Structure 1
């Protein structure tokens, strides 16, 4: 995996870009599938960093239910996210909103010479990300990282920019051990996987669920961490593996949640800046030297490797999942 090198290239691109300041009432981050889960995390990160109202919406909702999202006489920035730059719903949404004087658009893509890039007012193009696989991996990590850098630049936040600059190096050291998730992936007694993450990490939990589902057709779900107690915990048994995306902000609650799941027979992999003495069946300890809102890219390689190793164990081709194509067109 060369995600650390690609993240460094993404950093170098964003470092040298200038953006219009967002004098708008709200920013809407939008995409489809993986790009929508990315948007969900990006919107929460952006609002946390800048103090501006931000939300995430599936691209199709922008043209199917415009009045529920766009209020007359309010100003919006629409941030469209698409690896290919050709996703049908993104193009339809931008075309549908074209001509509205209260809307500006920013495209984030891994392909600059595409209809989406041409339709947007500004473009962040990560052309160095070239994935042949149907499944999005480093494109997700790099596009989210680009939007984190974008948010920090919009807020002129030197602290966030300094922490984000460290991310490629941290990712490089974190993914040195590619076997961190292999034992769980290889355990065929675990037939149900649950991913838990709250706040801006809920989008990562959803994306990890999608990756495992795409690559292996395994039964898996995602929830906001503490919401899992409110009904879904009833499905936990000895066949259940739960992956908890721990944060400093949730540290006061994570241990008790783990104990509740273990009492029901669930197997817990906790990953994050875990405190000394934290108890789980398996742990991946990640750096606490940078803030929760800047650490997302450090989690993703391990989550993607879990799906990859599980696919290999089950005899699937992780690059060519069943029933999927790289670009979905209506």
Structure 2
């Protein structure tokens, strides 16, 4: 039966996040040794595909909450272009991000810095017995394991877990914010499923654009990939304001423009969305709350949690848009469990 793996895995996010939070309590020393260790000049989060997009969210959160240098790179940049990607003579923590812990590019990246005095490695995965889990110290998302090819609850739980680790290291209000997210995720998943199912059933789009800024840029890239992987439609993602500089020429009736609205840049982002509406786009806003500034939109999905920081809310934006990919695939008659040309683990 089509979608029998992916659908419950999207729905399993509340339990996966809760298990990640509990696991962090057992890995407090990891937090102190790695993300909480101020001896590193720079922290580099690496991954491939969805894991690279997770890395972007993680790095943005790290920079803001800890006030220290961090970057996100594709894994291949480290083992093929290390000196172009990271300045020499710096003390670097390299954090490998991989659901399976078996991705060739992540493994090659970590192996390429083995033995270098200025580099230390660690990682995050869903499989403690994987090659990544055996070769370096890893955070482990206990319920992030998936049977489907596409990443859904693994992405959410690993992103949440690393952000929560950063929050604990920051020793400020962020840890309590991350704990509050656990109480919100269940309702977000339920509401997101019915909202996206209706949206797909009632509309036919021929182009899909996802926009986000800050930590939400990585999320925009991820949900763009989810739709492409599951349903084979052509879709693109951009930084929200960057979309106005040329790419907006593709917007016309039949285009879905989905904006992941931050509170920090809300006024600017909504101006972009309103402009796209004038060009004929169907505008979907994912935001904390509706207001007078959102009445122009064709659809608004409220996640609440406006009292939390943008970064702490990040994973709350995912379920709706993962379901959007799922129901688009089902409407098109393809199987989101087994995307063509794809495997769960990519090796070279």
TM-score normalized by the length of structure 1: 0.97
3-state secondary structure, aligned to 2:194: coil
Q: Could you tell me whether the CA contact under 8 Å between 1:42 and 1:144 is conserved in 2? A: yes
1:208-244: CA deviations, max 9, x gaps? 0100000011110000001111111110011100110
Partner of 2:154: 139
**Unaligned regions of 5+ residues in structure 1, if any?**
none
In 2, distance between residues paired with 1:47 and 1:108?
Answer: 18
**Unaligned regions of 5+ residues in structure 2, if any?**
1-10
Partner of 2:211: 196
Q: How far off its partner does 1:189 sit?
A: 2.9
Partner of 1:283: 300
Q: Could you tell me whether the CA contact under 8 Å between 1:131 and 1:139 is conserved in 2? A: yes
1:78-98: CA deviations, max 9, x gaps? 010000001001111111110
In 1, distance between residues paired with 2:118 and 2:43?
Answer: 12
In 2, distance between residues paired with 1:102 and 1:156?
Answer: 27
The root-mean-square deviation of aligned C-alpha atoms, in Å, is 1.2
Among 175, 181, 205, which residue is 1:161 paired with?
A: 175
In 1, distance between residues paired with 2:230 and 2:27?
Answer: 35
Partner of 2:330: 312
Q: Could you tell me whether the CA contact under 8 Å between 2:144 and 2:158 is conserved in 1? A: no
**Residue 111, structure 1, aligned to residue 127, structure 2:** yes
Partner of 1:245: 260
Q: Could you tell me whether the CA contact under 8 Å between 2:99 and 2:145 is conserved in 1? A: no
Q: Could you tell me whether the CA contact under 8 Å between 2:46 and 2:97 is conserved in 1? A: yes
Q: How far off its partner does 1:275 sit?
A: 4.5
Partner of 1:65: 81
1:15-48: CA deviations, max 9, x gaps? 3322213211000000000000110111011101
Partner of 2:242: 227
TM-score normalized by the length of structure 2: 0.92
3-state secondary structure, aligned to 2:283: strand
**Residue 52, structure 1, aligned to residue 68, structure 2:** yes
Q: How far off its partner does 1:263 sit?
A: 0.9
How many residues align? The count is 328
- Where does 1:92-107 land on structure 2 (aligned, <5 Å)? 92-107=108-123
Runs of 4+ aligned structure 1 residues displaced above 4 Å come to none
3-state secondary structure, aligned to 2:149: coil
3-state secondary structure, aligned to 2:311: helix
Partner of 1:41: 57
Q: Could you tell me whether the CA contact under 8 Å between 2:23 and 2:142 is conserved in 1? A: no
Q: Could you tell me whether the CA contact under 8 Å between 1:26 and 1:53 is conserved in 2? A: yes
